[in-house]
A and B are shown apart, each in its own frame.
Chain A
Amino acid sequence: MSERAGNGNGSLTAKDFRTDQEVRWCPGCGDYAILAALQSFLPQLGIPRERIVFISGIGCAARFPYYMNTYGMHSIHGRAPAIATGLATTRPDLSVWVVTGDGDALSIGGNHLIHALRRNVNLTILLFNNRIYGLTKGQYSPTSELGKVTKSTPMGSLDWPFNPISLAIGAEATFVARAIDTDKQGMAEVLRAAAEHRGSAFVEILQNCPIFNDDAWTFVRDDKQGVNRIVLRHGEPITWGAEREKALRQLPDGTIEACAADEPDVLVHDETHAEPSLAFALSRVTQATHGGTPVGVFRNVERPVYDDLMAEQLRLAEAQRGPGDLNALLRAGETWVVS
């Protein structure tokens, strides 16, 4: 056995998670940063490398598993959450991750995404959102802005875009978060929380495609001062700005407005709020509407986990009926003997 085999005794490093495959993303692609961040983060999980599985669909993001030295499957467009559900529910000993993109998850894969979230399967879903189709060279995606001019929409896209966070919350997700590809620390915090969450964890990662949609997120990527980033922290007032001068508060009609940080009723973030409406209202806060982009954990609640429920039914059935006796089952009902 190779000396680099993971055995979860704390001696794993980022290097252990690198494969010998040459990484083929474009220079400047945000995926490099995410890969590096994940390779740094995973050793901290304390899970043996052999028990980690990455499943992807199709897209630039979906090349991810080839560069992670764990078990991995590069599957078909949009179907990773379904495949991962089959794996997660039959192998509760594994840590299963889904890597997907805005096209893979929200276009062809939309149905599988919402059902995985609804079921609360024990998976961590990383959606790299670059607001474009990169691999197929530049068509618009379900998160591209209305009017986006691309190769397939020369007169501008007619599609109103999805808000992935709102969609996930609407799909009953129990963990919803957003990170930024170049924000290594923020991403690590989000990933840790996602990995610790039992159930489906949905993480949107704002990612830059330098070739087909460069600078889509620059306003929040290159934002060390926090002028645009609204960092959500559970239990803390939601403020941002170079001087932390801006804040959010909730109006009587449930919507959220930007205000000054010294005003009364500044919202204190509660990621565990039972009702998703608060998290949903926060998901509607965007750079365009409020002058800020929330990042961090929007929602983190507990709900029975699909894998556990399934396993429990098997246990219960055996307790109630005794372990299955195949011979007895074949002979159930009316039998007769011919001699």
Chain B
Amino acid sequence: MVATIAAGEAPSTVVFEACVIWVGDVAAHALFASPAAAAPPPNKPGRALYLRQGMSSKPVEQLHQVIVRFAGDSGDGMQLTGTQFTSEAAILGNDISTLPDFPAEIRAPAGSLPGVSGFQLHFADHDILTPGDAPTVLVAMNPAALKTNIGDLPKGGTLIVDADAFSERNLQKAGYAQNPLEDGSLAEYQLHAVPLTTLTVGALKGVEGVTPREAERSKNMFALGLMAWLYGRPIEPTIEFLRAKFGAKRPEIAEANVKALQAGYAFGETTESFAVTYEVKPAKLAPGTYRNITGNQALALGLLAASRLSGLPLFLGAYPITPASSILEELAGYKHFGVRTFQAEDEIAAAGAAVGAAFGGALAVTTSAGPGIVLKAETVGLAIMLELPLVICDIQRAGPSTGMPTKPEQADLLLVLYGRNGESPVPIVAARSPSDCFDAALEAVRIALKYRTPVYLLSDAYLANGSEPWLLPDLDALPDLTPSFATAPNAGDAFLPYLRDEHTLARPWALPGTPGLEHRIGGLEKADRTGNVSYDPENHDLMTRLRAQKVAGIAADIPELEVDDPDGEAKVLVLGWGGTYGPTAAAVRRLRAKGKQVAHAHLRHLNPFPRNTGDVLRRYERVLVPEMNLGQLRQLVRAQFLVDAIGYNRVRGQPLRAAELADAVEALL
């Protein structure tokens, strides 16, 4: 069936077996599979996934992985474009890993360098670990986006730009003396200068209720449509998403975006500039049900699950701070789970309210990033002395001081380990990937409740906003975290609030409201067993050691450090922690693919360390500690285990680059 629409007329949204659509002056042949042709996959009863069944007339090349970076103005919708493209990849079964890269300012001046917002997606037909060191395809929506990102695109990489955005004014704003599209400076890339804006506006002519400005803003959807075509992605899920997002309030905007998307898709098929399309097959992941998840989402769900598993109501005291705010916002949406979120007047009140809630028997949490963690220090010290459970989440970002709020770093380790007055031991748990934030949250809660102690849970800006597929856990298989509360006197007739459990050294947790157990606790040093205020010299020495012992003893209750050393013959160990897991594992993979032997271990518990850590380290001739800081874990490892560990340190506000790290490790082999 053929339908001809005159040039200048907007194509209507119909699906034909095959149709010819004129978009502006360009004839686009677009072949859409009829919905009935795609059988619904078994996991989606009643909802057909519309898969394009190789309907392009152009040759298809298979790729094992693609790394796409979308970059444009903060107002250009790059994050939306990126997350939709990610969704499409996830639905097709690729393994994915993302890295949003946005500026701290809400909206810097249009076309300016600081205003560039980016989104990088790595999708593959195999299990991948990072969003990629560098993109293989860069989609740059304006000169500023090109300027800031072109340095990362390797020679021969694909470069797609909105040619219309390369006006004199925009070039000037980006600091270009000449137009790079014309002066040959981009000769080493596969450049596609597409008049995205013109094409988009043309496709949307005649859509009622949409101003030219609004039409222009849909160009990100045109770009997405083009990319979807290029990589054989279905656009129907995005169409559904757009209609759901805009349909109720501004249906004409929804339609404009949908048309732009379809026009971009059609354009790819028509234009000779794109001679091939690419296919990235689904990855072989472990069987189960998956969803895409960011670290902050996973962390929030982990806390919620922990609340269920412990039977304690969840209380979050928090103050908005990048990049932790979305945890507060996420949990604020779970009131029907009985979650209380409290946006306090400041960071200290947020932690203080959490301590108060813990005193009353809630599962108490406070979240922040570096500058807020510093403010909470005194309150955490109080919680140590009170020996109450409290989870403090530090979503680390580049510092010091205000630093770079949206960029990842892992330089708060020594802060959370030591940053309180006196001897103030606190357990530390660190997540290693976006989905691991769920498990790390459970572990932090487990330790906090069992040992009646604050626990720091470390994440970072990359894990928080980056996403990956998450194998949904079986809730029934998760541990029971129910704590035991004191309900009766524990010493004859009396209740001694500091009479410790002989195994865990945890003190009994008696909640206000329990008759007969009335007692007072506080920040002053307290006598062993009775908890009365005490200045006795021997007592203080004893209590200081007991508190240290309680935390050190947790080592008996956490797994041993696992080492990935396939043939057991490696002489070099790479030891990481936190969000460097992906790049480190990828680097190790690279080396092994070249036949090199290298061992890899990744710490989840930073205090106490797993009980075999010293033994593991001493087995290797060299120990390399890659970190996004100047050597904090390295320092700890050297001090505690007397091992001559060396560091690989980058403080760029970006995840480590696997290739660079691999080179550094190789130099040691």
Contact = CB atoms under 8 A, between A and B. Distances in A.
A85 B515 contact: no
Contacts of B616: none
Contacts of B379: 76, 79
A49 interface: yes
A174 B198 CA distance: 61
A281 interface: no
A50 B90 CA distance: 54
Contacts of A6: 515, 518
Contact of A91 (B41, B345, B512): B512
B366 to A, nearest CB: 10
A112 interface: yes
Contacts of A313: 335
Contact of A335 (B289, B304, B475): B289
B539 to A, nearest CB: 16
Interface in B376-414: 378-379, 381-382, 386
A82 B349 contact: yes
B418 interface: no
Interface in B357-385: 357-362, 364, 378-379, 381-382
Contact of A85 (B90, B335, B356): B356
A338 B513 contact: no
B659 interface: no
A335 B520 contact: no
B493 A2 contact: yes
B472 interface: yes
A28 interface: no
B519 A329 contact: no
- Most chain-B Cβ atoms within 10 A of its Cβ — which of A58, A322, A336? A336
Contact of B301 (A83, A321, A330): A330
Interface string A326-339: 11011111111111
Interface string B191-226: 000000000000000000000000000000000000
A29 B282 CA distance: 77
Given A76-B382, A94-B360, A323 B346 contact: no
Interface residues of A, number: 66
Contacts of B339: 314
A71 interface: yes
Contact of B336 (A48, A85, A87, A321): A321
Given A5-B515, A320-B336, A337-B42, A21 B291 contact: no
Contacts of B520: 19, 54, 65-66, 68, 71-74
Contacts of B361: 90-91
A338 B285 CA distance: 7
Contact of B43 (A51, A88, A112, A335): A335
Chain A interface helix/strand/loop/mixed: mixed
B493 A330 contact: no
B523 to A, nearest CB: 6
A314 B340 contact: yes
A114 to B, nearest CB: 8
A69 interface: yes
Contact of A75 (B287, B288, B522): B522
A155 B561 CA distance: 63
A319 B10 CA distance: 46
Given A70-B518, A318-B335, A82 B348 contact: yes
Contact of A86 (B348, B354, B521): B354
A90 B352 contact: no
Contacts of B386: 73
Nearest to B49: A336
Given A76-B378, A76-B523, A334 B334 contact: no
A74 B510 CA distance: 16
B290 A336 contact: yes
B313 interface: yes
B184 to A, nearest CB: 43
A111 interface: yes
Interface string A92-111: 01100000000000000001
A7 B533 contact: no
Given A65-B522, A76-B379, A337 B288 contact: yes
Interface in B86-131: 87, 90-91, 93
A94 B518 CA distance: 13
B335 A329 contact: no
Interface residues of B, number: 76
Interface in B269-297: 282, 284-292
B600 to A, nearest CB: 25
Contacts of B349: 79, 82, 85, 111-112, 115
B540 interface: no
Interface in A267-317: 310, 313-314, 316-317
Interface centre among A66, A111, A313, A326 (most CB of B within 10 A): A326
Interface string A190-227: 00000000000000000000000000000000000000
B43 A7 contact: no
Interface string B474-493: 01000000000000110001
Interface in A4-56: 5-7, 19, 21, 48-51, 53-55
Contacts of A126: none
B352 A94 contact: no
B517 A85 contact: no
Interface in A216-265: none
Contacts of A86: 315, 317, 342, 352-360, 362, 364
Contacts of B489: 1-2
Interface in B301-321: 301, 304-305, 308, 313, 315, 317
Contact of A330 (B336, B472, B513, B518): B472
Nearest to A78: B348
A320 B334 CA distance: 12
B532 interface: yes
Contacts of B532: 21
A48 B382 contact: no
Q: Of residues A72, A88, A316, which shows the largest number of chain B Cβ atoms within 10 Å of its Cβ? A: A72
A84 interface: yes
Contacts of A49: 515, 518
A178 B90 CA distance: 65
Given A115-B349, A330-B291, A73 B522 contact: yes
B438 to A, nearest CB: 9
A324 interface: yes
A120 interface: no
B516 interface: yes
Contact of B360 (A87, A111, A326): A87
Contacts of B524: 74
A316 to B, nearest CB: 8
Nearest to A335: B291
A88 to B, nearest CB: 8
B29 to A, nearest CB: 30
B512 A75 contact: no
A259 to B, nearest CB: 42
A95 B41 CA distance: 57
Given A50-B514, A86-B357, 14 more contacts: A1-B515, A53-B359, A55-B356, A66-B533, A69-B518, A89-B357, A91-B361, A93-B513, A314-B335, A314-B336, A323-B337, A336-B289, A338-B285, A339-B42
6 shortest interchain CB distances as A-B pairs: A74-B522, A86-B356, A324-B337, A86-B353, A82-B352, A317-B335
Interface of B: 41-43, 87, 90-91, 93, 237, 282, 284-292, 301, 304-305, 308, 313, 315, 317, 334-340, 342, 344-346, 348-349, 352-362, 364, 378-379, 381-382, 386, 472-473, 475, 488-489, 493, 512-524, 532-533
28 contacts: A1-B488, A21-B532, A50-B514, A50-B517, A53-B359, A65-B522, A66-B522, A71-B513, A71-B520, A73-B522, A75-B382, A82-B348, A83-B356, A83-B359, A86-B315, A86-B360, A87-B356, A90-B315, A90-B357, A112-B345, A112-B348, A323-B337, A324-B334, A324-B336, A327-B475, A334-B91, A338-B285, A338-B286
